[in-house]
Amino acid sequence: AIFGEVLGLERVGIDDSFFDLGGHSLLATRVVSRVRSALGVELPVRALFEAPAVADLATYVGGVDGARSALVAVERPTVVPLSFAQRRMWFLNRFEGASASLYNMPVVLRLDGVPDQGALEAALGDVVGRHESLRTVFPEGADGVPFQEIRPAGAGLVSVEVRSATEESLAGLVAEFASRGFDLTCELPLRLALFELAEDSHVLVMVLHHIAGDGWSMAPLARDVATAYEARVGGLAPGWEPLPVQYADYALWQRELLGEESDPESVLSRQVAYWTRTLAGVPEQLELPTDRPRPAVATFGGDSVPVEIGAELHASLAQLARESGASMFMVLQAAFATLLSRLGAGTDIPIGSPIAGRTDEALDGLVGFFVNTLVLRTDVSGDPTFRELIVRVRETDLAAYANQDVPFEHLVEVLNPARSMSRHPLFQVMLVLQNTGETSAELSGLTLTGEGARAESSKFDLTLSVRERYAVDGAPTGLAGVLEFATDLFDRSSAVCLVERFVRLLVGVVASPDVRVGSV
């Protein structure tokens, strides 16, 4: 029942593999959360990889005791603290100034049809009322420590800026709107604009500051906007069920869950010890084949080029992942590390990767900043075969997933790597496999389709971000995405070349997975 619920399937056989049915690491985390709630046991994500069929997992569950405390709504103190991740984001906002837009998250939705602008604005107000994170500001207390000030829900909290545009001017106008900074001490972390192209063609832009949301927040955000709009068009308030918890509850629960670092038995202490061992001696800077020297101070200017991987190669990658007992992400990580190593980055390749951080099912429908960043140190030494490298990556990633609760921001403070204004600490390249679902919906008189916003900044030297696509029958139809690059370091032509080489490498390793990576 849990597999079927998480995977959206009516029937699951006891011998069906979770991953063959479409499971991946994020869904594995949701299975763990459901098992915790239903059975009162704490499974590691590793369990799904080692026992992916229901029959095998049932045996595994029988040998596990206890579970972490559930996330529930609690009575709040007078001063509600920020989460660990929010504190880092707040500090960066104050350090870089309110004009900085590096952590703005634009959501661009094309509306085909004639929108009811009054209903749309009311619906957006409903959504801001539903999610406290969207109506929270972060002033600084008298002691210099920021806190969450949650504004009361009500009319007038948000407004939609309506502007005229043409298809030719749209991209520039959206980029300008999305690049405006936020003063988080007094300004709500959400800004909205509606660009009118024609009577029956509009583009809605929602700019969310990262302190209030993450990539996994976009699905519940879009779903709630759609629900509220349908209700408001009919002259009604949305009749949704109340959320079980709000972000402030999570921030308090996170501190209770992690415990004190001074307690050697606390989750925080144990996981910090793991990362301290794992990242000892990690390269301060990955030597990449840049077009120019790294500047003393990064400008964070960025651009991106498309990545396209065809259906046949996608199917071959999926088959290799199944044969290796690994996920698609793990195979792509092994390939990305191989590419960077072959281009001169050495054999110790730290790769950053986001993880949803929604480790309790109460968070599934909530808009908020839960995502964490893991440093996946990829060992390419000894010239392993590509298949052997996948096994190494699998072990690295499963251990990292078991220690995912330590906020990256806290880890940087503890490990205290050599700081530089020219590079990101602990890693400079990121790999993202998007599995949050694409945004599209049918509303009353409208077709809503998500569109990508143009990348004009880059937090990292390189970010490879792709999404798997499937046919209705579940057949792989390809991967698509972008390679985002820092314009401080790379020309666009070099980024195009990196993508071409990456795809060429994938073709080679799926054809001969026992090839030595040094021979690719």
> CA 340 → CA 109, 289, 432, 501, distances in Å?
35, 9, 16, 10
Q: What is the CA radius of gyration of the chain?
A: 23
Nearest to 54 by CA among 20, 101, 92: 20
What is residue 158's predicted lDDT score, i.e. its pLDDT?
Answer: 85
Q: Is the pLDDT of residue 112 over 80?
A: yes
CA distance 197 to 289: 42
Adjacency order of strands within the sheet including 476-486: 302-309, 476-486, 462-470, 429-434, 348-355, 372-379
Q: Is the pLDDT of residue 156 over 80?
A: no
What is residue 455's predicted lDDT score, i.e. its pLDDT?
Answer: 61
pLDDT tens sequence across 204-229: 999 999 999 998 888 888 889 889 99
What is residue 359's predicted lDDT score, i.e. its pLDDT?
Answer: 82
Mean pLDDT to the nearest integer, 167-179: 91
What is residue 63's predicted lDDT score, i.e. its pLDDT?
Answer: 66
CA distance 250 to 370: 9
Mean pLDDT to the nearest integer, 373-401: 97
CA distance 235 to 118: 11
Q: What is the mean pLDDT of the chain?
A: 90
Handedness of CA 67, 71, 75, 77 (dihedral sign): positive
pLDDT tens sequence across 258-287: 999 889 999 999 999 999 999 999 999 999
Work out the number of other CB atoms within 10 angstroms of the CB of residue 280.
Answer: 9
Per the model's pLDDT, the better-predicted residue between 438 and 82 turns out to be 82
Q: Which residue has the tokens 């040094």?
A: 518
CA atoms within 13 A on the CB side of 255: 12
Q: E-assigned strands of 280-347?
A: 302-309
What is residue 20's predicted lDDT score, i.e. its pLDDT?
Answer: 77
**98 — pLDDT class (breaks 50, 70, 90):** low
**453 — pLDDT class (breaks 50, 70, 90):** low
pLDDT tens sequence across 245-254: 999 999 999 9
Q: Which residue has the tokens 């390749």?
A: 349
Mean pLDDT to the nearest integer, 37-60: 79
Percentage of the chain lying above the pLDDT 90 cut: 64
What is residue 436's predicted lDDT score, i.e. its pLDDT?
Answer: 61
The separation between CA 376 and the C-alpha centre of its own chain, rounded to angstroms, equals 15
Q: For residue 404, give every residue at least 6 positions away whose Cβ sits within 8 Å of its Cβ, in sequence order, or none.
A: 355, 357, 359, 372, 374
Tell me if 256 sits within 8 A of 69, measured CB to CB: yes
Helix axis angle, 328-340 to 492-511, nearest 10°: 120
Lowest mean pLDDT among 305-309, 438-442, 460-464: 438-442
**Which uninterrupted H or E stretch holds 350?**
strand 348-355
Mean pLDDT to the nearest integer, 100-121: 88
What is residue 69's predicted lDDT score, i.e. its pLDDT?
Answer: 80
Q: Which residue has the tokens 């832009």?
A: 205
Q: Is the pLDDT of residue 439 over 60?
A: no
Q: Is the pLDDT of residue 66 over 70?
A: no
**438 — pLDDT class (breaks 50, 70, 90):** low
Predicted TM-score (pTM) of this structure: 0.88
